Amino acid sequence: GQNIDQPTEMTATEGAIVQINCTYQTSGFNGLFWYQQHAGEAPTFLSYNVLDGLEEKGRFSSFLSRSKGYSYLLLKELQMKDSASYLCAVRDQSGGSYIPTFGRGTSLIVHP
């Protein structure tokens, strides 16, 4: 199985940059996902990394280092609407199951 660790809560100022880290331990890494979940809503997909490096998509970027078991989600030019929980999920192909396992999520609070 996987052991996924991310901070419980972070706060940041509107317009700033914030980095949310995720560390994991897995035997058969097959991709890492980031999802955004607003309170009372369903998670929505943000990014996917399977190779080392940075994937950029607008204000959001995601980085992966497989050798370090480490990823981060970078949010630039923060807006109030970015206040949400950010979920890191790792897919493990060992055992033939490709089901992503989710971390507990990082609650991001953006204040003016």
Shorter beta-carbon distance to another protein: residue 69 or 105: 105
Amino acid letter, 75: L
* Region of 19-27, 45-53, 57-65, 75-83 interacting with another protein (CB under 8 A): 45-53
* Region of 16-24, 60-68, 70-78, 102-110 interacting with another protein (CB under 8 A): 102-110
Residue of 29, 33, 72, 86 interacting with another protein (CB under 8 A)? 33
31 binds another protein (CB under 8 A): yes
DSSP per-residue letters across 14-54: TT--EEEEEEEE-SSEEEEEEEEE-TTS--EEEEEE-SSEE
Contact indicator for 65, 1 with CB cutoff of 8 Å: no
* Region of 18-26, 43-51, 62-70, 71-79 interacting with another protein (CB under 8 A): 43-51
Find, among 37, 24, 44, 33, the residue nearest to 106 by Cα: 37
